[in-house]
Chains A and B, each alone.
Chain A
C-alpha cells in the first residue's frame, strides 16, 4: 500500500513522519515486511469495497443521525409494548454514572486498578440479593434468557438429572433461547396452563414430574401478565420429585410482590432491564441468578461472583469468589463458560436501586398495579373487547382479547399506529388458543390520560 497523506484522528501514528520513524526503529521499510507470515494466497486481492467514508466528524454525524431520524421512539408515540422489554423511567443519575468513561471504557483490570468496578458490582449483587431475599447474586449474564438457561443447567448439575419442565405460559422469545442453550445436553417438556385463570396446570405438572426432572421452571408474572400464586404448591411438588424450582421474576414487581425465595424457589432468575436500563431496541438486557449461600449452589454458578475481602491496609477489598468453580463440573458432562456479558448494565441497576430505595420500589409496584388495574378495567369495557380471561391478578401486563371485534390484532395495531400509539404485542401467532389477543403493558410512565386516550382511540377504531 502506498504511503498515504491522510492522518486519522483515531490513529495517531498514521502521521507520516512518525510512521516512518517507527518503521525505521523497528528495522523495516514498510509494514508489509512485518506481514510476511501471511502468504499471498491468503492476502485480500484489491481493496475492500466499502462506501466512501465520512471522515469529518460533522459529516459522520449528519449521516448517522439522518438514518436514526427514521426511527420513531416510545417517547414520541404512546407505547403499550412490554413482553419482556419495558419502557420504565430511567433516572437521569443512572445515565450520568454509566456514561462516566472510567466505567464505560474499562474492561478486565485487576482489583488493584479497577477497585471501583468490583465494588459497584458487589453492591449491585448485594442490592439484588435483598430485592430477591436470597444471599447470592451474580455479575450480570447476557440477558434474562441466558440467566434462565443457566439456572436450568445449574439445576441439572445439582440434581444430576437432564430434563427441564417449562411453563407453557412462559415468554416464547425466551423459550427459543433456552431451547438453543440446553440442546443437546438437556431435554425440555412444556407444562400446560389453565386457559381461564392463566395459571399453571398442576395436574399436568404432576403427571410430568418424574425422577429424570432436574427443574420445574415458571415465570412470575407469567408472559401473559398473571401473578402465579401457586408457587408454594409447585415448589413442594418439585421437591417431592427430587427436582428444583426455578422462577423467572420481574424485579420491578418485588417492592410489592413476594420474591420467589419465599414460596420455595431454589433458584430465582430474571432480567435487569426494568431496573433503570433503556430498552435499546431489546439490547438493554442483562440476566441475574440468585440463590442461597449454599456451597452446593455457589459452586455451580458459571458466572463471576464478586466477593468482599480484607486488605493489608484495612480497606474494603474485592475479588472473584471461588474462581475455580467456573470450571467445576461434578455431574454434568459439560461445562459452561464466562465471558464479556453485561457488566455496565449491572452498574446501571445498582445506581437505580440505590436511588429508588425501599420506598421507591414499593411505590413503583403500587402505581403500576393501580394503573394497570384501571387500564384493564376500562379497556375491558370497550364493546367487543375482553380483559377478563385469563382471570388471574396481573402485575403490569394483561391480555386484551379482540376476537369478538372480528378484527385482527395486526389490523387494529396498524390503526393505532396511525394515531400515534404502539398497541400491545400481538399474541395470535405464539398463543393461537387466545384467538386475536394482544398483550398490553402499563408502566409507571403511562398516565390515566394516556390510558383514556387509548380507550378513546380503540373505541373509534372498533366502532
Chain B
C-alpha cells in the first residue's frame, strides 16, 4: 500500500502585525455623514460633549484600505487549521465534527442575524419557535423536562448548574449547611473550577484501578454537607461508569442534586440518557455533539436540561407557547429563578444550527452518529495500541466509548520524547492534537476522539502519521527535536510569555518594550 503521508507544508506568509501595514490616510470603510439640515440644527455634535469627556486625539488604530485589510486577514486565516481542513480527531473531549454548510446558510440569514433581543415577541416567532422546538428535541435526547439555552459554552453550562444548585438548596433553607460539591478526577476540570468560583468546597474522587470513580471513597465523601455531585460520563478517559445509578441514588438519599456534564454526549445519543442514569440536570455543548462550529473558541452554547422539579429555578427568561393562540413568548415570571447567567437569551445562531442538525438526522440518524463515533473510536484504538510506545490508560478496563486517553509513557522512557514532542511534530503533517488537561495523572497523555465525521481513510491516515512520528522518535530523534519543520512558525520562545519584564500582550506594550525584532529599548 502506498503511504498516506502527505508532503504537507503549512501556509507561511510571514504576515506582519497589522500596525506594520498601516499607511497614513488610508480608509477601509466610510461611515454615513449627518445630513446638512441636521448639521445646521445641532452643529458638529462634538462641541456638545462635556469638555472633560471629549476625546480630542484619534485612537491609534491602523489605517488601511479595504483590499489590504482583506488580504491581511485572509493570510492569517490561511495560517490557521480549521476542522474543515484537517482530520481533526486529536482534540479528544471536544468532539470536533463536521459543521454542515447548509446550517451556515441558516445562521448567516438576515432573518436571524438582524434580530434585536427586545423586539416584540410577535416579530420573533421564528427564532422563539426554534428555541421551543429545540427544547422539545432535548426532552427526548436527555429524558429531562425543562430547558434553558442561555449558557454561552460548556463551562457556562456548569455555571448555570451550580447556580441552580444554590437556588434549590437556598429555597429549602439548606444553603449554608450544604457547601460541598463532589466531582471525579476525570470529570472535566470545569466541574471542579466553577463550583469553587461559586463558593463551594470541592471534593474530588480518585479513580479506582479500573479508572472508575471509587465508589467506596464516594460513600465516604457523601454527607449532609453535600450540595450536589458533578459528573462527566463517560469520563475524559473514555471509560463509562456503569455504576452511575448507584452514585446518583446515594446522592439523592443524602438530599444532594445530581448534575451531569454532557458537554460531550457524542457516544450516547439514543443509547443512554441523563434521565435513566438518575440525573436531575445536564448540559449539552451544542458546539460539540450538535455540530455548531467552534469558531476558534466560541460563540457557543451549553444547553441546560433539568428535571421538572427544578424548572422554577431556571435562568430567566424561558420560552413558552401559548396553547390557545399557538404563539411563543418569553416568560420572565420565575420568582425562584437562579437569576441570569448571560446577557439576553443565549446564542441564537448556535441553537439554530443544532436544531437544523438534529432535524436533518432524526432519531435514527442521531443514534447512528453515536454508534459510528463509538465504532470509529474503537477501530482507531485497536490500531493505535499497536503503535510503538503507545499505551492505554487503565488497561485493566479496556472498554471505551467515544474517546480514549492514551499515554506515551513508554515512548518517553525509551526515547526521551513525550507527548509535547509528538504534539510539536504532528503540526508538520497538517493536523494536530491536544495533550490533555493537567495535572497529567496519566503520564504523557493525549486524547483522541474520532467522531462520526471521519471516514475510515481519514482515520487510517491519522494512524499512519502517528506511526511515522513514533518511528522517528526511535530512529530519527533530530527530526523530532527540531520540529516543527513545516509549520507557519518555528520554535516559540516561551520565556517571552512567562516573564513580566518581557511579555507584551498588545502591540502597544511591545512597542514600549522593544524596537525592531525584540530588541529591548
Contacts and interface: CB of A to CB of B under 8 A. Distances in A.
Residue from the set B50, B193, B497 with the largest chain A CB neighbour count within 10 Å:
B497
B70 interface: yes
Nearest to A228: B53
A255 B116 contact: no
B35 A447 contact: yes
Given A256-B49, A319-B492, A106 B44 contact: no
B29 interface: yes
B219 interface: no
Contacts of A104: 82, 84, 99, 104, 293, 295
Contact of B48 (A18, A51, A176, A393): A393
A432 B98 CA distance: 49
B5 interface: no
A47 B494 contact: no
Contacts of A382: none
A228 B153 CA distance: 34
Contacts of B484: 112
A34 interface: yes
Interface string A106-147: 111111111111011111011101110101110110111110
B362 A55 contact: yes
Contacts of B504: 307-308
A67 B369 contact: no
Contact of A308 (B73, B456, B496): B496
B295 to A, nearest CB: 3
A335 interface: yes
Given A71-B126, A135-B505, A107 B349 contact: no
Contacts of B17: 119, 122-123, 126, 308, 316
B45 A373 contact: yes
B111 to A, nearest CB: 4
B123 interface: yes
Q: Contact residue range for chain A?
A: 35 or more
A324 B438 CA distance: 11
Interface in B216-274: 239-240, 242, 244-245, 268-273
Interface string A310-323: 11111111111111
Contacts of A319: 492, 494, 497
B382 A25 contact: yes
A56 to B, nearest CB: 9
B113 A109 contact: no
A358 B106 contact: no
A345 B152 CA distance: 13
Nearest to A185: B199
A37 B399 contact: yes
B110 A75 contact: yes
B299 interface: yes
Interface in B300-349: 300, 315-316, 338-349
Nearest to B371: A31
Contacts of A96: 70
A103 interface: yes
A239 interface: no
B81 A55 contact: no
A356 B105 CA distance: 27
B32 A447 contact: yes
Given A13-B375, A115-B488, A341 B297 contact: yes
Nearest to B76: A116
Interface size class of B (residues with CB under 8 A): 35 or more
A174 B48 CA distance: 29
Interface string B46-67: 1011101111001111111010
B91 to A, nearest CB: 6
Interface in B179-199: 190, 193-194, 196-199
B111 A68 contact: yes
A217 B39 CA distance: 35
B418 interface: no
Nearest to B212: A37
B42 A354 contact: no
A12 B454 contact: yes
A111 B37 CA distance: 53
A182 to B, nearest CB: 10
Interface string B83-109: 111001001001011111010111011
B491 interface: yes
Contact of A87 (B116, B293, B346, B434): B116
A336 B190 CA distance: 10
Interface string B265-303: 000111111001100000001010001011111111000
B485 to A, nearest CB: 10
A340 B492 contact: no
A255 B33 CA distance: 15
A356 B490 CA distance: 33
Nearest to B383: A25
A448 to B, nearest CB: 4
A68 B276 contact: no
Nearest to A61: B102
B364 to A, nearest CB: 7
Nearest to B176: A184
B231 to A, nearest CB: 13
A461 interface: no
B197 A336 contact: yes
A94 to B, nearest CB: 9
A115 B129 contact: no
11 contacts: A54-B360, A68-B127, A70-B126, A75-B110, A84-B344, A102-B84, A113-B80, A113-B431, A126-B508, A227-B50, A365-B46
* Closest A-B pairs by Cβ, 6 of them: A282-B344, A53-B362, A339-B155, A282-B117, A313-B490, A355-B28
